[in-house]
A and B are shown apart, each in its own frame.
Chain A
Amino acid sequence: MSEHRIFFRETVERILADALDKADIDAAEERVLPAGLYDALSENGIPLMLVPEDKGGIGATVADAAAILRAAGEAAAPGPILDTMLGQQLLAGSGLELASGLISLVFVDGLDVPEPGAEHWRDATIHAVPWGAAVEKVLVVAGSRLIVTNAADWTVTPERDAAGEPRDTLSARSLPVTVIALADGDAWLRTAAILRAAQCLGAIEWAFRRSVEYTGERKQFGREIGKFQAIQQMLAELAGHLLASAGLVEAAAEAMNPQLIAAARSRLGDAIDATITITHQVHGAMGFSLEYALNSRTRRLMAWRDDFGSTLYWRRLLAREFIHLDREAFWPAVSDAGLATVG
């Protein structure tokens, strides 16, 4: 890991340790953002990480941002951190003014959206908008169009995701908009997808570690449950899911290769499913209470698994890259497509 990436990651880990506690995570279910956390992140320039230096940002890479989101996922940090980081980059890249507050980002498909240059969106409804009532800007990416809106102009119907965080329905008539043509909307979706993957990876790592620790604390039949082979086998299996998906997610964030990103999201989907099943099984009934912190990670994994393209979407995409190939052309294509290396 590069020196500045380690610096970013350590900075954010310190902020998370100082400015986020369990009460903050719980409060997110009452639609309260951890204000102290976001202030500290802003003071350190984290929301502007991906914005180029000449536009007032840090100019970090996607892999740097992924390292930070992994730490945020590990800490179960609520709120639109990813959305704001990527949203600011979208605004900067489109020659627009940066937002002074937080941003919600949604990708939509099949909606009737305004043309570039239009000033209003006649009849707009968008769903599952993270923290729709708490942000300053709501950005909608629809294929090759970016629609920039002020959150205050929407009517918000509160909804929530599996983690209990807001995912609101927003609607408006004659909504004031700025519509920009995007060169490659899919590239933005891929970036969002791999950043979400990094966040999931952090939550998996926390849940795995807590489970291993728990099996050393909990005693049944007169011994620590970690001494039982049945428990060992489950956690060994989870270690495999973790290592396999981590390798691919890191590789994909580094190379930003479309096939690797699709593969990372597909592989991660299985790792998430295994994490939820195994960490809860290892915890027995104890992990099922709202009070116990395990669910703050596992419910986020449920909420995030299919964000920015579902697991199945990425699988179909990956398959379509290769499915037309001849039997002897298949391996060379697979092998040339997917590998990230150092140097």
Chain B
Amino acid sequence: MSVAQLSIELPELPPEAETLRREIRMFIAEEREAGRLPPPRKIGLGFDREMSRRIGARGWIGMTWPKAYGGQERTALERYVVTEELLAAAVPVGAHWVADRQSGPVLLKFGTEVQRRAYLPRIVTGDLTFSIGMSEPESGSDLASLKARAEKVDGGWRINGRKIWTTNAHHAQYMIVLVRTSEATGSRHEGISQLIVDLSLPGVTISPIVSMANEHDFNEVLFEDVVVGEDALIGKEGNGWNQVSAELALERSGPERWLSSFRLVSELVGALGPEAQSSTQEELGRVLSHLLALRQLSMSVASMIQQGKSANMEASIVKDLGTKFEQETVRVVRNIISAEDLTANGREDRLRALLIHAQQYAPAFTIRGGTNEILRGIIAKGIGLR
């Protein structure tokens, strides 16, 4: 059996990246100064349209895209720096997050010129929010078993089906929906297509799914005879599975896969001093070392993607390790709070609130965007086991 050589090269960071990092930090400092970025009591991506517009005005949305569509033609590594800095500072980026990370790139790669011109310039300004219509009540990890379908009608498509876990569908103007457009004759992966749907159309019903963290981020979206035009099809009819696979790779290795509970660590460090017990230092040092390792790895993957190399297994490793790290961090912070007695008698109120929210939120880390068990299957394949 041939075993894949596991190795990864150091990232190539363009010199402009560090200048950019200073600019973002300055922006964050100004936002704080102006009172527009209060310290959060919750984790997760906040939703703030005006914040997204201000970020867009700086040229930090769709920044790797061609200038013809409003982009800046900057590198993936520079985008990486922007997302890392914004997430670490808990800047609410939810209004543009999905469009910037995956919907825009999908349109760029597979969309028509008309589609690109219709959506991309409005994404970069922070005005458009996209949501993702993949999961269904009966289709989670086994996405190819989806039941939503679109049939060809005169001048377009008629969509029927039900999508769930659609983040921000209640705020979004558009959704890219994955539907079956023809029966699979061979592989189940055939006959699946991506359609872009205006969520204000008749026949679309959006209902909230409140999470166990008592948040309304998710929705169930019902499509009943929703009719869209020919121009709603993204890429080729029947090529949806390949398009989605490429899209999911973008979802896996970014800093959002290991920074979700970072705010909790910042708050903890803010509450700790040099007199902390040695067991506290050891646990904190361990967390920091895992964070730095993930960052090095995640940036190396961004560099591979920039160079056009395939990084499917490496990206899956980042997500598997990163999301487990996010969960473990919650446990470690909780233990340190107890060991150092940080929140007794109403002290460190915000840290306490954040911890509670992080505990409630943490089960989602290793599920959303592909469960870790599915990811490890991809990794096993990459190392030659399947």
Contact = CB atoms under 8 A, between A and B. Distances in A.
Given A331-B266, A342-B12, A323 B281 contact: yes
B244 interface: no
B273 A264 contact: no
B299 interface: yes
A243 B288 contact: no
A331 B290 CA distance: 14
Contacts of B143: none
A56 interface: no
A312 B285 CA distance: 8
Interface stretch (A24-32, A114-122, A229-237): A229-237
- Contact count band on A: 35 or more
A46 to B, nearest CB: 23
Contact of A212 (B3, B269, B297): B3
B286 A266 contact: yes
Contacts of B153: none
A265 B270 CA distance: 25
B383 A323 contact: no
Nearest to A260: B292
Contacts of A232: 376-377, 380, 385-386
B38 interface: no
B289 A236 contact: no
A35 interface: no
Contacts of B383: 212, 235-236, 239
A267 interface: yes
Contacts of B280: 319
A328 B91 CA distance: 12
Interface string A175-217: 0000000000000000000000000000001001100110111
B376 A237 contact: yes
B217 interface: no
Nearest to B294: A244
A246 B7 contact: yes
A265 B284 CA distance: 14
Interface stretch (B49-57, B179-187, B314-322): B314-322
Nearest to B1: A216
A248 B284 CA distance: 17
Interface string B283-324: 111101111111111011000000000000010010011000
Contacts of B34: none
Given A209-B3, A232-B386, A315-B282, A334 B13 contact: no
Contact of B293 (A217, A233, A267, A334): A267
B354 to A, nearest CB: 11
B51 to A, nearest CB: 17
A1 B2 CA distance: 23
A239 B10 contact: no
Given A237-B376, A243-B297, A340-B10, A319 B288 contact: yes
A251 B7 CA distance: 13
Interface in B358-386: 373, 375-377, 379-380, 382-386
Given A232-B386, A236-B379, A244-B293, A342 B84 contact: no
B10 A341 contact: yes
A325 B276 CA distance: 13
B3 A328 contact: no
B267 interface: yes
B20 interface: no
A323 B284 contact: yes
A240 B289 contact: no
Contacts of B84: 335
A316 interface: yes
Interface string A246-285: 1110110010000110111111001000000000000000
- Of all A-B residue pairs in the complex, the 3 with the closest CB atoms, nearest first, are A315-B285, A327-B270, A266-B289
19 contacts: A212-B3, A212-B384, A213-B3, A216-B1, A236-B383, A240-B379, A247-B10, A247-B297, A260-B292, A262-B285, A262-B289, A315-B282, A331-B89, A332-B25, A334-B291, A338-B296, A339-B13, A341-B13, A341-B299
Given A315-B281, A330-B265, 18 more contacts: A232-B376, A235-B385, A244-B293, A244-B321, A247-B296, A248-B296, A251-B10, A316-B278, A322-B288, A323-B269, A323-B281, A330-B269, A335-B88, A337-B292, A342-B10, A342-B12, A343-B12, A343-B13
